[in-house]
Amino acid sequence: MNHVGIGYDVHRLVEGRKLLLGGVDLRHHKGLEGHSDADVLLHAICDAIFGALGEGDIGQLFPNTDPRWHNAPSKIFLHEAARLVNLRGGRIVNIDSTVIAEQPMLAPHLHAMKSNISHILELHPSRLSIKATTNEGLGFLGRDEGIAALAVVSLELPQ
């Protein structure tokens, strides 16, 4: 049986933090503010997987009130999402994701992000899509105040 989940995450850009997207350090002058490393792409993918499993969202499984997750690398959350899929006897069919950011230019980093996420999930890269777009200067994303990501996941789970 196919299950579909959607994930969304957004974080504010601030000085003094690393900018991690898809587990890749983009070496930008601003980074994303958050309790963990604030990797919006990994968080959106996690939420999509957790949603397809009927498990809620990343905040329920890894609450920002728990000091264990302070500055934690988001790949920990993604590993847990994959573990839950495997525990249920399922498999990830495919993932489609989009990152929305005015800066930095993401195209040069998409291959590294895809490689990293594919490795974490033990998923063939052909089953993962990562796209990048801007918000055309509109709203808080367009003013370069933050970065957002969306993800849709299809899981195959036994009944």
Q: Are 85 and 49 in contact (CB under 8 A)?
A: yes
Q: What kind and span of H or E run contains 122?
A: none
pLDDT confidence of residue 109: 97
Rounded mean pLDDT for each run of 10 residues along the chain, 159 residues in total: 97 96 96 95 98 93 88 94 97 98 96 97 97 96 97 95
Chain centre to alpha carbon of residue 39: 6
Find the CATH number of the domain harbouring 74: 3.30.1330.50
Say how many C-beta atoms besides its own lie within 10 A of residue 43's C-beta: 28
pTM score of the predicted model? 0.96
State the Cα–Cα distance between residues 44 and 149, nearest whole angstrom: 6
Residue 24: give the domain boundaries.
2-156
Say how many C-beta atoms besides its own lie within 10 A of residue 143's C-beta: 12
CA angle 40, 131, 14 (to 5 degrees): 35
- Locus of tokens 């594919």: 118
Please count the structural domains in the chain.
1
